[in-house]
Amino acid sequence: MEELLRRSEKLTTVGQLAAGVAHEIRNPLTTLRGFLQLQQQSQKLSLSHVNLMLSELDRINLIVGEFLILAKPQATKFVTKDIRNVLNDVLVFLDSEAHLHNIVFRTVITEEECRISCEENQLKQVFINLLKNAIEAMPGGGSVHISIQRKGDRIAISITDEGVGIPEEMISKIGDPFFTAKETGTGLGIMVSQRIITSHQGTMDIQSQVNVGTSVKVTLPALKKEPQEDLPAAQ
Ligand code: ADP
Ligand code: MG
């Protein structure tokens, strides 16, 4: 019975998602079709029409791309990684984008080992999503504070910006598929991230204050520390 409930719940979610995707993709498709029709009626498309068509195609690509990440779990491969290395790779990857927007990453990272079992690419996607949101929240530039701490058998990762923040009435909607406050947002980043973190037995919590900033805290289960190798006995 429980399993049945769980599955029907899942199907409802899938149905809602599918309806959302269909809706979000239909709009740019309608624009594309309209322009192609113009062309067919031998009204030559202007450069701005073509540019708009390209950006609509990019939008479809972005939405489909985010969904591909969700579809991936069938092919997941969990491996043992130190989360400090995973996060560091992401920071290196986003470095030039941060620089371009006058953003500085400030890190406080524990010296303790932080091994976890993870689907590395999915976890990287989570940090990319969260760091991009932080960058986008600070149009005038600023600092993003990133910390990794080990707390017993959990690892806590927090990403804190000094950006626009999230109004209280909006907080509960964050993570709903397609909920975005941005003109060119997809509203899929947090939802996808939340699902990935859940599939890693983790938690995600967002705290925010308008015009002060936003802090996203992720916790993940840590693997036991490797036993320290015996030091050779002093002679
Ligand atoms: P998108 O970035 O495409 O809008 P997300 O799911 O990543 O979609 O985020 C949803 C919404 O949550 C954003 O549009 C924004 O309003 C809010 N949000 C998320 N992260 C932050 C942040 N760090 N600062 C301010 N607002 C944020
Ligand atoms: Mg986002």
Residues with CB under 6 A from ligand 1: 129, 133-134, 137, 161, 163-166, 174, 179-182, 185-191, 214
- Report strand pairing: 79-82 vs 203-209: unpaired
Report ipTM (2 d.p.): 0.99
Nearest ligand 1 atom, CA 179: 10
For residue 230, the Cα-to-chain-centroid distance in whole angstroms is 41
- Listing DSSP states for the chain in one string gives -HHHHHHHHHHHHHHHHHHHHHHHHHHHHHHHHHHHHHHHTT-PPPHHHHHHHHHHHHHHHHHHHHHHHHHGGGG---EEEEHHHHHHHHHHHHHHHHHHTTEEEEEEE-SS--EEEE-HHHHHHHHHHHHHHHHHT-TT-EEEEEEEEEETTEEEEEEE--S----HHHHTTTTSTT--SSTT--S-HHHHHHHHHHHTT-EEEEEEETTTEEEEEEEEEPPPPPPPPPPPPP-
Query: What is the per-residue pLDDT for 2?
Result: 63
Q: How many CB atoms lie within 10 A of CB 129?
A: 21
Report the alpha-carbon distance of residue 61 to residue 70 in Å, rounded.
15
Q: What is the pTM of this model?
A: 0.81
CA of 152 to the centre of ligand 1 (A): 31
Q: Which residues contact 126 (CB under 8 A, 6 or more apart)?
A: 192, 193, 196, 197, 218
Left (φ > 0), alpha (ψ -120 to 50) or beta: where does 144 sit? beta
What per-residue confidence (pLDDT) applies to 5? Answer: 59
Q: Whose CA is nearest to atom 11 of ligand 1?
A: 180
CA 61 to chain centre: 16
For each of the chain's 235 residues, which pLDDT tens digit applies? 666 656 665 556 666 677 778 888 888 899 899 989 888 887 888 898 899 899 999 888 888 887 777 666 556 789 999 999 999 999 998 999 999 999 999 999 999 999 999 999 889 989 999 999 999 999 999 999 999 999 999 999 999 999 999 999 999 999 988 899 998 888 889 998 998 999 999 999 999 999 999 999 999 999 988 876 666 655 5
Q: Position 211: which residue type?
A: N
Shortest-distance ligand to the CA of residue 191: 1
Token representation of residue 3: 């399993």
Alpha carbon of 179 to ligand 2 centroid (Å): 10
| Ligand with smallest separation from the Cα of 184 | 1
d(CA 229, CA 118): 25
Please report the atom of ligand 1 found closest to the CA of residue 191.
6
Report which residue type is found at 102.
N
Instruction: Give the C-alpha separation, 63 to 27, whole Å.
Output: 12
Six token digits for residue 108: 């406080």
How high is the pLDDT of residue 11?
A: 57
